[in-house]
Structure 1
């Protein structure tokens, strides 16, 4: 799918639930992202395939925003700016979807899980090494008392 097709599908999916500025903000973000990746030498098809289904991304955006764009019945129109270089980026309102779509993200997840398991084993081993000098003599004393005390009961 080309960048134009991807952005049209996303715009159409967002149109019923969000206001114009929110739609334009997200479309601008993905347009810029795809353009940046193409400048790095990747094809539009590869980038859009990596991003996934524009309908699924739009659904996530709508759920994240809460559909507040048109909830109050307020419709606004913002004319297109001719100077895109001066466009203000509001980081708080941008919604980006990240997943485990590349090998290095999966590797980081696996290494994180292995690290947590190793930390848990180290903590449990440390607890046992601290308690062993106390528990072993107590168990030996209890065993001796049972043996000595057990012989008297007969």
Structure 2
């Protein structure tokens, strides 16, 4: 199958269920993808084999569109969030916040360490304030108990 045949089949499959702009966006996206891969030195046949059947791709796009689970790419074309061929930097999702770059991870770790140090400092401060009172009270209680035992 050639690129033109692939694009015609993809367009025909998408036209049944999507509006014209969504069809155009998806056809442009896959056309650009194929062109980019060919420029990287891959053969047209190899790229088309990797993509697979255009009807399956169209069905995936239509399903994603129906579920409102399609994200807009920076070029204005639509694609499923999980179908990106580029490598994406690993990221972690912590209570709704995405932590992806190294400095964000470092900032999170330093923030946690800072909170732990503040808690330790507060507890240490409370202990240092209370100990001058608690130690003499404990000494007095121990002396009173010792004196009571001696009297018995």
Q: TM-score range by the shorter chain?
A: 0.3 to 0.5
TM normalised by structure 2 equals: 0.47
**Could you say which structure has the greater relative contact order, defined with CA pairs below 8 angstroms and 6 or more residues apart?**
1
Instruction: Identify, as 1 or 2, the structure richer in strand.
Output: 2
Structure (1 or 2) with the larger CA radius of gyration: 2
